[in-house]
Amino acid sequence: MATIFSRIVAGEIPCHKIAENEEFFAFLDINPVALGHTLVIPKKEVDYIFDIDDPMLGRMMAFAKRVARAQEASIPCKRIGLAVMGLEVPHAHIHLIPITKESDMYFGTKKLEITQAELAEIAAKIRNEYK
């Protein structure tokens, strides 16, 4: 069965898309820990990120870098933090999180309270800066 992220790529489940190319897809996390929290995934289903071969992992990081540049340009922050866990969704993904302090990357129970309209607005801002 397709993962929830493959269903997002296929357009079966809505998302706030940021960018895509032939191999990768970026979209806002539905439960952000910080404003602009974005996920980068390979379109090909791989569960564990370190099972991705080196050349593809390099291309994934280069794609994530372009997304991070767009986040830096559109979300007030000091830099973009990067995290990989994958304990919830078995489809490799990189979390890209605009941060100004360490606690902005706290993945505990408290998530940002944000509306769909606000998510749409943030996604549009990031998309606008994606080169």
Query: Which residues are tagged catalytic?
Result: 93
Instruction: For residue 70, give the DSSP letter.
Output: H
The token pair that represents 51 in the structure block: 């099972």
Which span sits near ligand 5GP by CB under 6 A: 43-51, 61-69, 74-82, 84-92? 84-92
Is residue 100 at the binding interface for ligand 5GP, with CB under 6 A as the rule?
no
Beta strands in 9-128 (DSSP E): 17-20, 24-28, 38-42, 79-83, 94-99
Which span sits near ligand 5GP by CB under 6 A: 44-52, 55-63, 70-78, 81-89? 81-89
Is residue 104 at the binding interface for ligand 5GP, with CB under 6 A as the rule?
no
Is residue 86 at the binding interface for ligand 5GP, with CB under 6 A as the rule?
yes
- Burial track 106-117 (b if 16+ CB lie within 10 A, e otherwise): eeeeeeeebeee
Which residues of this protein are in contact with ligand 5GP, per CB under 6 A? 4, 13, 15, 27-31, 39, 85-89, 93
